[in-house]
């Protein structure tokens, strides 16, 4: 985690934490950096960078500033307009751009925004490049064996870059998703909650092309309503819609459509853990589960691991964050992994989580097995979970205190194979997170509180 960029880009309230000048600086750096990389190799051609954005009002401001910075540094900016994060990753990779930029704050409210950077492989930007951007913003850049401070050269005359309408790239991404539809969706009633965000015109286009009977909610973006009581973070609206209108399935996306949660025909929420279970099992049954492994994070539910044990499916547990899931999948050649939040990665088809792709894969599992979604997920028992945060003065001291560790071990011993405890520091705040999964909610509450009380008794809490 850097000064400006976190695990998912440079994010914050527009024109407060993240302002227009930051966007211009990022554009200036990227245009110059990729041009310089080419020049170092004796290549005089113009760097090419592709940009997408979500529907927030401030996304248009940031797009303009990024384009201004890019062309001022001599790069050509290819503009996808409103599109999804995974589409930018796809186009950056298949069209061999130097890098991609997505303007979005994902599931955050409209007044927040973010700048996500994607490398030429369609993956999260390399950390060393992020470090250089931060140094440039702070006026102390050293790169290519030279100290630049905050003064990198501008392009002149015919070297000034261009902005290019690249809506055709977004359309080809839509075509790619349609091509992944193994079965016709004819006769299946599908509800889509597009969160008034990036998926608003892409997801319906894909499902309509595959023959589904499509009903769409929250697909009228006005710049201010992205994620507002809509999408995967407010799925209760979709639950109600599916039941009241007799839909076969519903899918809810977040603001930039890199996540998907589902609703079965009975109105039950299908989380990322359910999706990993149903598609992991579907792949194993067809001998398609490479390495017999599904990649999860430590926050996946205890019930998922119990189910995998019964099915003979191996699993890996990474730190929280799709970045860590993808790193493990790339290193070990795994084909499916993800998070409870619905950020699911199908590495054979995409280099990042893709909400629309995830919904297509759920449809494939339903149609391929000729079963309703509720029937497919029924064997998975999700254990009750309680997660509480305690503010502390020193996260490391609190987590490593002998009495705290003893209290945690006492809970672990008590639960045995009927549940689990997880204690971890927040990555961004002075908090220790204590989570317990057990057979009853009351037991979870009691055991979480017992550990937090030890933290307080030892004077480690900052409350």
Closest CA to 212 of 240, 183, 232, 239: 183
Does the annotation flag 256 for ligand binding?
yes
Is 106 an active-site residue? yes
Q: How many residues make up the chain in this entry?
A: 463
Residue 258 marked ligand-binding: yes
Residue with tokens 């930007």: 125
Listed residue (340, 337, 326, 381) closest to 233, CA to CA:
340
- Reduced to 3 states (helix: H, G, I; strand: E, B; else coil), residue 182 is coil
Nearest to 427 by CA among 395, 404, 381: 395
How far apart CA 389 and CA 455 sit, in angstroms, is 11
Q: Give the tokens for residue 242.
A: 């599916």
Closest of 91, 99, 135 to residue 117, by C-alpha: 99
The answer to the question of whether 394 is labelled as a binding residue is no
98 is in an annotated binding site: no
Helix (H, G, I), strand (E, B) or coil at 127: helix
Catalytic one among 58, 87, 104, 106? 106
Is the CB of residue 296 less than 8 Å from the CB of residue 337? yes
CA angle 309, 346, 209 (to 5 degrees): 125
Distance in angstroms (rounded) separating the CA atoms of residues 308 and 294: 9
The answer to whether 324 touches 367, Cβ cutoff 8 Å, is: no
Where do we find the tokens 């130097």?
A: 98
Q: Which residues are catalytic?
A: 106
Query: Which residues define the annotated binding site for Mg(2+)?
Result: 106, 254, 256, 258
């Amino acid at each position: 985690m850097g000064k400006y960029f976190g695990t998912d880009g440079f994010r914050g309230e527009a024109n407060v934490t993240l302002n227009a000048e930051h966007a211009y600086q990022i554009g200036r750096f990227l245009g110059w950096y990729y041009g310089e990389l080419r020049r170092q190799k004796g290549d005089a051609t113009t760097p090419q960078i592709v940009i997408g954005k979500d529907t927030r009002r401030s996304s248009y401001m940031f797009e303009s500033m990024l384009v201004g910075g890019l062309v001022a540094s001599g790069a050509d900016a290819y503009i996808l307009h409103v599109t999804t994060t995974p589409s930018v990753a796809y186009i950056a990779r298949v069209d061999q751009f130097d890098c991609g930029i997505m303007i979005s704050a994902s599931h955050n409210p409209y007044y927040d925004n973010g700048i996500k950077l994607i490398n030429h492989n369609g993956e999260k930007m390399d950390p060393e490049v992020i470090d250089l951007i931060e140094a440039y913003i702070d006026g102390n850049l050293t790169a290519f064996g030279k100290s630049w401070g905050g003064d990198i050269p501008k392009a002149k005359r015919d070297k000034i870059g261009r902005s290019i309408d690249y809506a055709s790239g977004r359309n080809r991404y839509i075509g790619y998703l349609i091509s992944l539809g193994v079965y016709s969706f004819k006769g299946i009633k599908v509800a889509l909650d597009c969160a008034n965000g990036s998926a608003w015109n892409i997801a319906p286009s894909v499902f309509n092309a595959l023959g589904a009977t499509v009903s769409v909610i929250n697909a009228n973006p006005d710049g201010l309503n992205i994620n507002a009581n809509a999408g995967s973070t407010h799925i209760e609206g979709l639950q109600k819609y599916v039941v009241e209108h007799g839909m076969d399935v519903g899918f809810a996306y977040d603001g930039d459509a890199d996540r998907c949660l589902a609703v079965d025909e009975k109105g039950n929420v299908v989380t990322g853990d359910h999706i990993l279970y149903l598609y992991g099992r579907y792949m194993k049954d067809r001998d398609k589960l490479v390495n017999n492994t599904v990649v999860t994070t430590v926050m996946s539910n205890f019930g998922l691991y119990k189910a995998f044990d019964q099915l003979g499916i191996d699993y890996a547990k990474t730190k929280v964050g799709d970045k860590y899931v993808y790193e493990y999948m790339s290193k070990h050649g795994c084909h499916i992994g993800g998070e409870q939040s619905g950020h699911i990665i199908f590495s054979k088809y995409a280099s990042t989580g893709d909400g629309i792709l995830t919904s297509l894969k759920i449809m494939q599992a339903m149609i391929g097995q000729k079963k309703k979604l509720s029937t497919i997920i029924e064997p998975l028992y999700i254990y009750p979970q309680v997660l509480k945060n305690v503010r502390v003065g020193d996260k490391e001291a609190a987590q490593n205190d002998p009495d705290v560790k003893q209290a945690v071990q006492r809970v672990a011993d008590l639960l045995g194979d009927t549940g689990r405890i997880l204690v971890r520091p927040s990555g961004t705040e002075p908090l220790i997170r204590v989570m317990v999964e057990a057979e009853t909610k009351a037991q979870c509450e009691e055991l979480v509180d017992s550990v937090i009380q030890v933290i307080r008794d030892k004077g480690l809490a900052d409350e």
